[in-house]
Chains A and B, each alone.
Chain A
Amino acid sequence: MSTLKPFLNEKVKVLTADGRLLLGVLEGFDRTTNLVLSSAKERIFSIDEPTKDISMGLCIVRGNEVVSISDYDEQVEDSTDYSKIFAEKLKDTRNSLID
């Protein structure tokens, strides 16, 4: 397994199949990339509203729904003013012709 071990107990960003972004500390994972995130929050991007975070506490993400997991530079992250960022919602991974 191209392993997730280096990300354990690190703060990570998880992208999901329906185009959402979760942040949290990676507490665990398995072969099917099921994940456990602690202090999790969902970050909601919108084109006409400032970015906002919603706390979710401890959560399990099913492997099937995982697109990517990344670690990040906390300094850069903390110095980013998300209230000034407006972005389109990501597409899901289904790629239907009609949204």
Chain B
Amino acid sequence: MNKGRFLFRSLFFYRKTHLWVVLGTMMSTAILVGALVIGDSVRHSLRKIVFDRLGTTEFALSSGDRFFQVRMADDLAESLNTTVAPLLQTRGIAIAEGGQRRVNDIQVIGVDSRFGEMGGIKERFGQLAPDEAIVNRSLASRLNIRENDEILLRMEKRDVMPKDAPLSLDSDSSLARRFLVKSIAADSALGKFNLRSDQLTPSTVFVSLHFLSKEMGFEGRANVLLVAEKAEASLDLQGVNDALKKAWTLSDAGLELRNIPGRNMVELRSNRIFLAPPVAAAAQEYGKGAQPVLTYFVNELRRGDRATPYSFVSAPGSPLIPPGMKDDEILINGWLAQDLNANVGDQIELTYYILGLGRELQEKKSGFRIIDVVPLEGIYADRDLLPDFPGLSGEENCRDWDPGIPIDLEKIRDKDEEYWDDFRGTPKAFVTLDKARALWANRFGDLTAVRFSISDQAEVESFLINKLDPSDLGFVFRDVKKEGLRASSQSVNFSQLFLGLSFFIIVAALLLTSLLFVFNTENRSEENGLLRALGFSRKAVKWAVLREGAVLVVLGSLLGGVVGVLYNGIILSALKTVWRGAVGTSALHIHFRFSSLLIGVSIGVAVAFFTIWLATWRQIKRPITGLQRGLAKVETIEKKRPNTSLIIGLVSWAALLIILVVADFGRGDQAFLFFFLAGTLFLIGGMAFTRVLLYMLGKNTDAVRLSNVNIGIRNNARKHTRSITLIGLLACGLFIVFTVGANRLNALKDSERRDSGTGGFALFGESSIPILYDLDSQKGTQLYGLDAINSDDVKYVPFRVKEGDDASCLNLNRVTHPQLIGVMPAELAARKSFTFADMSGEIDPENPWMVLDKKLPDGMIPAVADLSVIVWGLGKSVGDVLTYSDEKGKTFPVKLVGGLANSVFQGNIIVSEKTLIQKYPSISGYRIFLVDAPPEKVTTVADRLSWALQDQGLDLTLASTRLAEFNTVQNTYLSIFLILGSFGLLLGSVGLGVVVWRNVNERRGELALLRAVGYNKKSIQAILLSEHVALLVVGILFGIIAALLAVLPTFLTPGAGIPYPTILIILVIVSLNGIIWTFSAALLATKEDLIPALRKE
């Protein structure tokens, strides 16, 4: 006989009871392992998605509305010795079956064979005819189309000139073409192509790059470059950007150098009319008489009652402008002097448009004193001063003008036509550059040209190329693969999430394990006592018990490891199907690292071992004589006052009171956290006080009050550990179920309220193609045919969009550059829309939205986002700063000053519109709309608006529906929590059953004695029922009160749809379940003949 043999004998002999301990450990470990493996699986799946969506792409450049020559890709490919693919990317709408099915907000990408090389399928993308398209699976399934079907694509017509730039044309913002679906791109064949860090697959159409660029009006140009990774040597970001610096030309940036005929000069101009500030600055640094020029279109030049319509005024500097000319002085040419009958010294007034927000134009006037009348010849007859205004400069006749501003062609006289015929857009007046800049500078620039006193274009180009950095114009590569992998590795931590969601079930499983192990140990207390009597030291006995326990927990945990992987499979299947709302993708694959398995099993072993160690320690601590005689069963009424429990109880409830006093009811997630803590403290305190109460009940030996019920209750005092364990299991389970149930988000409830997540808006719209005009304005109403619905009670709040990553809970990746949206804060402030859940010091709580217009120190831009986006999507908190790059490649800080309670803005960072267009002048039009409409008009408004803006791909949904979509994620997590919590409850019920069964079994002698002394079956049943029902009632009460405390803020928050019926049903089920177990056990106990048990005793 040795320790090993003794261990083996014991394990084998008690295998039936040990099995339950093994199962308990297996369950807790399986849940632990499952949670860790889910983390591995999600991370692995997201990583795989990165490779699927990028192919071999390592670096990408997206130049937005600047279109470089495709040649640049060739140059870069040669210099980097790898594949470089140019793409032309835009947005659009796909329509199939004659408009029966349409999908908005799709990616339209012009590609050639080089794109195919990124996915190892060169031929497929390189052989696209002009009328052929490849669609990805996502779009094919949404449109229900197959190969050789026809689709209509309406695409945003990209333009070199931002749509909001002064005089930019507002026509042709989209173009529609029909395509034959040549093939469907599988996910593994670049079908998932997406430069954003998102696990969701966008709907994409691939067409011929050559065809698309030609249709857009800039043949041979593109706006995206992909650089493939090199197999033999790695590329670095700096190297790629350096190569770009060598490869780019001025033409790639839309800049042009040209000689001015007849004058020994070279002029730099932009196809965007205004020179971007970095370009203008670099050009002026050239020296050699670099002369900045600003030429502007004025509506009218007036002297008294005589006026000349629609003319150009220029600020060409020296030598046209004489030295010393003042800012309020003007030179006019002879033609104008004659037309206005003006002379030197006369005052004339200029009327012109300046650019407001978006395309908004404000007519302004400015007065000048004529200091000279210059002849319309020589340097003053320079028609090259006129920039290439679209709709103006190329037209044969004035009456053919079609600029992007309102003009009254009726005002154009014959003499104006003649001037146009003879002198085209030659400026009629000249002002100082300072004055011109003061009047006409805008967010696109303050110069229309820079002239150099040199005839060698090459020299100027060389200077500018060296001086300028491509990043100044937004030409900068990003390490998209590294960013994607980082975003996936820092994605939502599903291990932690599921550990959190499974916390109570793990605790329940461990408590059950402990309970079962304690039963086993208690039942074998005589054996342990004997061993002590036979000379085994306390330590030796303890280790004998622990060795046995260790084998059980190791076995249970190993099994748990295997079951955990299976459990992970079930959870993943659920995440891909019934719980898809939480992840939004079915591209999840089982994957586990051995280390996760090892960690899970090790933690399972450690935690379960610790649990049984605690139980053993308490058992072995008992007096040896008691153990040996089996007195442990009847000698558990303690003499020692449970002071520790009393202290824990007092401290917990004192802390609870403090929280209730100091917590700010109904404000933000912190309030929820505080109250959840309050509920937990109530539970802890409740358990501790129950322990004290049981002690007091155990001490109460007043025979006068002895009754069946009292005997039952006193039995609970006798078995205080098991009583508290049971109460704890039940209370925790109910706490979870009730708290989770009450915290479910209901987007419909209170959705009409301004402080709800809809902001009180009826509709939320998102367009694929920007809508250039304010839908409320006269122009917008007319242009889009909204006369029938626009009224005083139908209003729009538009948002500009700077595309970025989706930071909503629908995206599992940890994004760094979420989408920015710009709004006029006054619109939201006036309505007092939405609720701020967290605010920094910069915010005035009375008027929080106006913080967006505030100027913060260090050039920080104030921004607001959903608190859940800030905390979970970005891993930040209110007060933290994000860094963005503006259109000029300069970084700027965005400070998250406020966090909104769950809102329709999830996934976006909100800044003021003014700020957004300052930083991104090329962003034209609006793409997000909140619509106010009275309930009775909502359907009509939605129908008319969707119809009117279908070419812009407006997706209009009820604001409450959009909120519900986001709530789906949270509610899905809550469902998961609820399911796992219910398992906890089930375990609690099983625990109760085990306790009752073991109690009855253990006390057969005791019960037999009661029978022998004359108790009838009913009396014994009453004792057993009162004993266990008391535990049930206390457990349920604690659970309910704790949960009520935890969800108190939810009652005070709009949109909190508390599912009272569900909670009630669960309560009834739990209560019934407990009573059934108890009653069955009581019946069973009294059914058998108990007298033999008495004899054994």
Task: Answer yes or no: do A and B interact.
Answer: no
